Every structure is written in structure tokens, then in C-alpha cells.
Amino acid sequence: MVHERSSAFRIRATAPKAAAIAGILFSVLLFISLALLLNALSAGADISRVEFAADKQRIMLALNLIPFASIAFLWFMGVVRDRFGDQEDQFFSTIFLGSGLLFIAMLFVSSSVAGSFFLLSEIEAGQLMNPGYYNFSLVVARETITNYGIRMAGVFMISTSSLFIRTQVIPRWLAWLGLGLAAIMILRIGYINRLGWVFLSFPLWVLLVSIYILIDNYRKKKEISAR
């Protein structure tokens, strides 16, 4: 019986560390992917000519990183929820899970449309193309990620920050920072936001949370060892 309790404690004790590692991995992968995709899907991109060959490697890298970033994000969601423990609020937890899954869905849709556009651009590079078709593809991909995806990320940040404030598992300033950034993302305040670049604040915020969880977990382990 004592051995079972000890094993259960060790399993739960490793969850925050796993959350931190998954969060850091997600932050790095998503930051790289978004930076490359937002640059390729920018409103000022010249899509009347198919001249993406020089950027092909970077674009394909971004699209290939998206699934791995999403897997890390799912793991991050699961172990962060585990960190809430018995203090979890069912209302905010429902929004937390729903917005996180919708964010991944929007990310996949945008990446699929963008990937299809660049693939067709390469296949039909020597053929006569309809610019309207490619304009439509890029607009759909850009709007999916910079309009809907960014708002789902904002809702995720609001629900997560609200749970952090209620449970006090991270500093309040970090939770309030998440609420502030989420408001800017949802309302699309500012010119940079309308272009989608403020989206990069999402992986950066997750990175800050993950680093704190990792440090806090390490500090608690040292305190337990010192006893």
C-alpha cells in the first residue's frame, strides 16, 4: 500500500516537468512555423507570380513542424490540467479544452490550405495559372490562422490564465500578462495584430509559463530532498 502511494506520488510529481518540456518544445516549434508562414502568407506577398522556389525549404519546414508542435501542445494541455489537480474549475476547464482543440484544428486547416497552394504552385510552375485561384487559397489560409486561429489561442490564454489565478499555481503577474495579450489577440488591436504577427506572443507566453513550471518543479524537488 505504501509502495503504491509512493509510485503514484512520483508519477504526479513528474507531470509538471513533462508540461514544461512539452510547452518549451511547442513554443519553439510554433514560433518558427508561424514566423515562416506569416511571412509567406503576408498580405503584401506577390502571388501573381509563382516564385517561391527560393523559400521552398523554409516553407516546407514550417508546414512539417506544425504536426509536431500540435502534438507537443496536446501534451502541454494534458499535463497542465494535471497540475491544477483537485482545484480545477469545470467551467473554465471546458473552455480550456475546447479552445485548445479548436486552435489546433484551425492550425491544421490553415497549414493544409497553404501546403496545397505551394504544392500546386510547384507542380504547375510551367503552366498557365489562374491568379484568382491562388489568391483565394492564400487568403483562406491567412484568414484561418490570423482571424480564427489567433482568437482561439486568445480564448485558450484567457481560460488558462483564469485557472492559474484561481489555483495560484503560477505567479499572478504571469496570468495577468496572459489575459492582456489574449485581449489584444481577440480584439485584433493594432496594425501588427491585423497582420497576425502578434500571434507570436502566444508561444512566447507558453514558453514563460513552461520555464516557470520547470523551475518551480526543480525547486520543490530540492526542498523535498533537503527534508
**What value does the mean pLDDT of the chain take?**
76
Q: Enter the C-alpha cell of residue 206.
A: 507558453
Query: What is the pTM (predicted TM-score) of this model?
Result: 0.79
Cβ atoms within 10 Å, residue 156:
27
Predicted local distance difference test score (pLDDT) of residue 178? 93
Provide the pLDDT for residue 196: 64
- The Cα 108–Cα 128 span in angstroms is 29
Q: Enter the C-alpha cell of residue 137.
A: 487559397
Write the CA distances from 75 to 25, 71, 112, integer angstroms: 10, 6, 22
Of 85 and 173, the one with more pLDDT: 173
Higher-confidence position of 147 and 128: 147
Task: Read off the amino acid at residue 58.
Answer: R
DSSP code, position 212: H
- Rounded Cα distance between 182 and 42, Å, is 22
Cell of residue 221, nine digits = 524537488
pLDDT bracket for residue 49 (50, 70, 90): very low
Domain limits, the chain:
2-226
Grid coordinates in use for 82?
Answer: 494535471
Residue 163, H or E segment: helix 150-167
SS3 42: coil
Total residue count of the chain as it appears in this document: 227
Question: Is it the case that residue 149 has pLDDT exceeding 70?
Answer: yes
Place of cell 493544409: 112
- Determine the average pLDDT of the residues in 59-66: 84
pLDDT band at 3 (very low <50, low <70, confident <90, very high): very low
Is the separation of the CB atoms in 116 and 108 below 8 Å?
A: no
Are residues 56 and 115 in contact, defined by beta-carbon separation less than 8 angstroms? no
**Cα 204 to Cα 200: distance, rounded to the nearest angstrom:** 7
* The residue type at 147: N
- Tens of pLDDT along 63-100? 889 999 999 898 888 878 777 767 777 787 888 899 99
pLDDT bin (cut points 50, 70, 90) of residue 10 is very low
